[in-house]
Structure 1
Amino acid sequence: MGNIRVSESQSMPLYNQPVEYVERKGIGHPDSLIDGIMDSISMALSNAYLDEFGEVLHHNVDKGLIIGGSSNATFGSAEITRPIEIIMTGRATQEYNGTTIPVDQIAIDTAKDYLRKHTRFLDVDNEVNYVSKIIKGSSDLNNIFKRGIDMPLANDTSFGVGFAPFTTVERLVLETEHLLNSDEYKAKKPAVGEDVKVMGVRDGNEITLTVAIAFVSQFISSLSEYTAYKEEVTKDIIENASRITDKKINVVVNNGDDTKGSVVYLTKSGLSCESGDDGSVGRGNRVNGLITPFRMMSLEAAAGKNPVNHIGKIYNILANELANDIVRDFPQVTECNISIVSQIGRPINDPKHLNVSIATKKKEDFAKINKKVNELAQEELDNIVYLTKGIIAGEHKVF
């Protein structure tokens, strides 16, 4: 296909560059919570449409807001004094062939279910207020959606990007949050809340991880116990990092604490949004789970977009899948960057342009694999509709 270009990278691979920043907002961060809620609503709507009509109907619920509440947290106890508010917005088909779909109720029920599954100490019925403002979609986008009978037509002109493999810092940041929010670690250290944020900075061969953790007050009875807990968590992070790299690792946990004034990061729920921190769809992690300012990034908010023809979701997932597949299938590739741009109304398997930029171990390697990489890209475009099924089934994370 003429609109696929495989080119040799003209830039220095990130792992050879002198400086690197990487961030991850954990599952309890308000930006991640609202991403997860709205994407779960998209999946719930898709399945409701399939159950009732045998097809996914038009919807885009990629707008949403968490308005933080208020709380009082002290050593040993805490309470939420003003509820968190979740506002869910977007567009969705509410009536089809004479049948009404209870979109607002699906949204609210889904939001509660999501919070129950991903938080431990939040009373989702009494400490959270829910508002659904999801309304009917525009006629032009509905029309584009309906016209894609044989192959969905892109509902926007935009682009998706992806890269592989992760650098050491990227792996460290991701795995640090995964450790702290794993079921096993929660059983070991229940005071570690779900709201975890990790910032990684590499300067030469030295890496610093700055970690913010919303500790749960009921498990910590004093400042000395808090300090000891924080030291134990710091050691656990360093030990986990040592399994990934032998580079020098510095770890700082809750650097904003004022221990002299006994003002530390304590919460009732393990979430910062209980006391004023807000969240918005698309402000957090990209589809690969990270925020990577030294890489190509798309500003598309993938969470909540429909999985059938919204390329803001589909192309970002596809770009990351393709980049990882290329690195897996071609060991000669040391770094791969993918970008895919659409045209509204054009079949999603026929983008306006798909660019594959690869760096190889040896200069002559590129010529040997160029054609095969092009063929793999075409194959994944040809099978793009399978992404929709996987997204609806929850097989692809978008934050």
Structure 2
Amino acid sequence: MANNIIIGSIIDDSVEMAERKGMGHPDTICDEITEQISKELCQYYIKEFGAIMHHNVDKALLVGGQSKPAYGGGKVIQPIQLIIAGRATAQIKDKKIPVEDIAIETAKKWLQKNIRHLDAAKDIKITSNIRSGSADLVELFKRFGKGDMPLANDTSFGAGFYPKTPLEETIIMIDTLLNDPTTKIQFPFIGEDTKVMGVKAYSKRYFTIAMAMIDTYITDLNDYISKKEAVKAYIIHSLELTDAEVHINTADDYNNESIYLTVTGTSAEHGDDGQVGRGNRINGLITPYHPMSLEATSGKNPLNHTGKIYNYFAMDLSRAIVESKFADYARVFIVSQIGKPIDEPQLLHVQLKNKNADNKTIERFAKEKLKELSKYWDRILYQ
């Protein structure tokens, strides 16, 4: 970029940036595994007791291991550590619930399914420290009957917007393309750990991609360079990005042969750590130019934890407003008070651009959408 300092107006949308962390990024691994554990617990609770029980398994820390990548295939010499923590109902009357077993097995299955070259039996050590829930929070589950509106598990806010910008859509398309099964067949050396940063400066777009490459498929430095350039050409051609600058693995130093080579396809194998809540929001992006909550939604129960539910609701209401042609752009902010019905937020704030409907119409529309919150767990659990 010729001039990388831009001074502009706060309402100027000709400059923006956003990013997306791919499936094998350490932060995404933590998010995805804790969310899957919550879903498995929900399904177990429903099957055994007919209802979702109190749980919030929304804490996880991934401690990077150590590896020795090598052309043709290296090895992991110190395993990754994944520490899962949170709270969950572990016993109902005389029935004990295997919370720890569910958590560990779910994590292993997710890794086996999503990180192709990571051996979940030896390349990672998984520890679960999920404990019983707070008595006060468990009590909130008991204070409403079946079909009633759940009571907020926390004082939290959610934020959402719609639609995404063309830059944001393209970032998702790039990452989706890199991790598409057909791409992996054509380019098996692409690891699951990807990150795409997009920048728009007036009419120019720049995409910087971090892409772990798997050493088994790389014979030497020239082969690495050739394969990286082939992926770049594939992205530009597939997504018609001829008007954009695309850069891959910009930290590579060919002179010192310091390149993004991995054994497993994730940077977690050698010192890159991860944590729940540091990755993508529920729309799949990190968007500094649009509102977003820093609340970690992954692993929170979908029944009454507004730190999760309200973020989904804000995104859904924003989309519904635009798709109903009430406005061209919407963003929604919503905040709860612990112990209050989740359909009675302390504040629901809607901001619109190019509004096409009167305030009363939009207010009635929002109130109707709030009534759906008693069944929102189903929308989250089975999406």
Given the two structures, how large is their TM-score scaled by the length of structure 2?
0.94
Q: 1:249 aligns with which of 235, 244, 248?
A: 244
**Aligned match of 2:255:** 260
**Aligned match of 1:237:** 235
Q: 2:14 aligns with which of 18, 21, 33?
A: 18
Change (3 A) 1:240 1:386: farther
Shift of 1:212: 0.1
Give the conservation status (yes or no) of the 8 Å contact 2:149–2:373: no
Give the count of matched residue pairs. 373
Which amino acid letter does the alignment assign opposite residue 340 of structure 2?
R
Residues 188-223 of structure 1: CA deviation (Å, up to 9, x unaligned): 111110000000111111111000000011111111
3-state SS, counterpart of residue 35 of structure 1: helix
The CA distance in 2 between the partners of 1:13 and 1:270, in whole Å, is: 40
The CA distance in 2 between the partners of 1:19 and 1:148, in whole Å, is: 48
Q: 1:381 aligns with which of 361, 366, 370?
A: 370
Shift of 1:375: 2.4
3-state SS, counterpart of residue 320 of structure 1: helix
Q: 2:272 aligns with which of 248, 253, 277?
A: 277
Shift of 1:13: 9.4
**Aligned match of 1:170:** 168
Which amino acid letter does the alignment assign opposite residue 274 of structure 1?
E
Structure 1 residue 59 corresponds to structure 2 residue 55 = yes
Give the conservation status (yes or no) of the 8 Å contact 2:150–2:342: yes
The CA distance in 2 between the partners of 1:56 and 1:43, in whole Å, is: 10
Q: 2:28 aligns with which of 32, 35, 39?
A: 32
Shift of 1:278: 0.6
Matches for 1:133-172 after TM superposition, within 5 Å: 133-149=129-145, 150-172=148-170
**Aligned match of 1:9:** none
Give the conservation status (yes or no) of the 8 Å contact 1:66–1:278: yes
Structure 1 residue 371 corresponds to structure 2 residue 360 = yes
**Aligned match of 1:336:** 330
Residues 218-242 of structure 1: CA deviation (Å, up to 9, x unaligned): 1111111111111111112222342
Residues 93-120 of structure 1: CA deviation (Å, up to 9, x unaligned): 0111221001000000000111111111
Matches for 1:75-114 after TM superposition, within 5 Å: 75-114=71-110
Q: 1:349 aligns with which of 343, 350, 373?
A: 343
Give the conservation status (yes or no) of the 8 Å contact 1:176–1:240: no
CA RMSD of aligned residues (A): 1.5
The CA distance in 1 between the partners of 2:143 and 2:228, in whole Å, is: 56
Q: 2:315 aligns with which of 300, 314, 320?
A: 320
3-state SS, counterpart of residue 163 of structure 1: strand
Which amino acid letter does the alignment assign opposite residue 202 of structure 1?
K
**Aligned match of 1:181:** 179
Percent of paired sites with the same residue: 44
**Aligned match of 2:3:** none
**Aligned match of 1:213:** 211
**Aligned match of 1:128:** 124
Shift of 1:134: 0.2
Residues 303-351 of structure 1: CA deviation (Å, up to 9, x unaligned): 0000000001100011111111111121x62211111110111101111
Which amino acid letter does the alignment assign opposite residue 392 of structure 1?
L
Shift of 1:369: 4.3
3-state SS, counterpart of residue 154 of structure 1: coil
The CA distance in 1 between the partners of 2:26 and 2:144, in whole Å, is: 35
The CA distance in 2 between the partners of 1:28 and 1:240, in whole Å, is: 22
Which runs of 5 or more structure 1 residues have no equivalent in the other structure? 1-11
Which amino acid letter does the alignment assign opposite residue 355 of structure 1?
H
Point out the more displaced range, 307-316 or 148-157: 148-157
Which amino acid letter does the alignment assign opposite residue 270 of structure 2?
S
Give the conservation status (yes or no) of the 8 Å contact 1:44–1:110: yes
The CA distance in 2 between the partners of 1:337 and 1:389, in whole Å, is: 24
Give the conservation status (yes or no) of the 8 Å contact 2:252–2:259: yes
Point out the more displaced range, 383-392 or 264-273: 383-392
**Aligned match of 2:352:** 358
The CA distance in 2 between the partners of 1:299 and 1:62, in whole Å, is: 13
Give the conservation status (yes or no) of the 8 Å contact 1:24–1:197: yes
Point out the more displaced range, 378-387 or 214-223: 378-387
3-state SS, counterpart of residue 328 of structure 2: strand
Change (3 A) 1:380 1:69: same
Shift of 1:390: 2.2
Give the conservation status (yes or no) of the 8 Å contact 1:241–1:249: no
Give the conservation status (yes or no) of the 8 Å contact 1:148–1:347: no
The CA distance in 2 between the partners of 1:231 and 1:323, in whole Å, is: 39
